[in-house]
Amino acid sequence: AQSVTQPDIHITVSEGASLELRCNYSYGATPYLFWYVQSPGQGLQLLLKYFSGDTLVQGIKGFEAEFKRSQSSFNLRKPSVHWSDAAEYFCAVGIKAAGNKLTFGGGTRVLVKP
Amino acid sequence: DGGITQSPKYLFRKEGQNVTLSCEQNLNHDAMYWYRQDPGQGLRLIYYSQIVNDFQKGDIAEGYSVSREKKESFPLTVTSAQKNPTAFYLCASSINTGNTEAFFGQGTRLTVV
């Protein structure tokens, strides 16, 4: 079965600094990859997705992610963090052969210092 | 506007009572999903349905039941057999063929006392 690991439970970053969130997955083939963001008490919003093609994908709110097949990773980055980026971020893996179900990582909570 | 509506946003129930969470979508999506979220554990799949009148168990289906009588509706019942029902429940939907991007509702926080 596939699995997703987000090694960092919490990350604190200063406003204006860069941010990188790590995501590693375990699966025999290339899955579909997603990053979602969740504000407290809210649902999840899709930031970006990777299905195939260019391994560097751009998303909303200035986020980007890079798929590295050799490392089974899909790390999320933002060059300059804004206070409104404080939230919880989830990496997810989707596999069509498994009924299009998503498997989520445990999440990384991002705190932004002024 | 198109989207997924979960109701209610907050729900309180006494231990031993069954409770049903509503999820409605007007995106014309074939697939719908229920996830449970607990602090530090990410989201775990309870049940999913790829087509009307059909559904499959996810990773933590024990103590839950669902139905899919209409394409736009996928209610979740939390039964008294669920040992730890207090959690945040999220409903999602996706186009079933190929594109697996899921759209989420705003969630229902269930508290059992």
Q: Is A71 left (phi over 0), alpha (psi -120 to 50) or beta?
A: alpha
CA-nearest residue to A32 within chain B is B100
Question: Chain A to chain B, count of Cβ pairs less than 8 Å apart?
Answer: 67
- Cβ proximity of A86 and A112 under 8 Å: yes
Does the distance separating the beta carbons of B94 and A43 come in below 8 Å?
no
- Asked if the C-beta of B106 comes within 8 angstroms of chain A's C-beta atoms, the answer is yes
pLDDT tens profile B41-68:
789 999 999 899 999 999 999 999 999 9
Which B-chain residues 5-34 have CB contacts (< 8 A) with chain A? 6, 31, 33
pLDDT score of A98: 64
Q: Count Cα neighbours of A57 within 13 Å in the Cβ-side half-sphere.
A: 22
Task: Report which of B62, B63, B110, B107 is spatially closest to residue B86, judged by C-alpha positions.
Answer: B110
Which residue has 């990859």 as its token pair? Answer: A33
Q: Which of B48, B103, B105 sits opposite A99 (nearest CB)?
A: B48
CA-nearest residue to A5 within chain B is B42
pLDDT score of B23: 98
Query: A71: pLDDT confidence band, cut at 50, 70 and 90?
Result: very high
Query: B1: pLDDT confidence band, cut at 50, 70 and 90?
Result: low
Task: Report which of B108, B92, B89 is spatially closest to residue B36, judged by C-alpha positions.
Answer: B89
SS3 of chain B: helix, strand, coil, percent, to 5: 0, 50, 50
pLDDT tens profile A7-55:
999 999 999 999 999 999 998 777 889 999 999 888 999 999 998 888 9
d(CA B12, CA A77): 39
Mean per-residue pLDDT of chain A: 92
CA distance B26 to chain A (A): 17
Query: Residue B98 pLDDT more than 70?
Result: no
How crowded is residue B94: how many other Cβ atoms within 10 Å of its Cβ? Answer: 23
* More confident of the two residues A25 and B95: A25
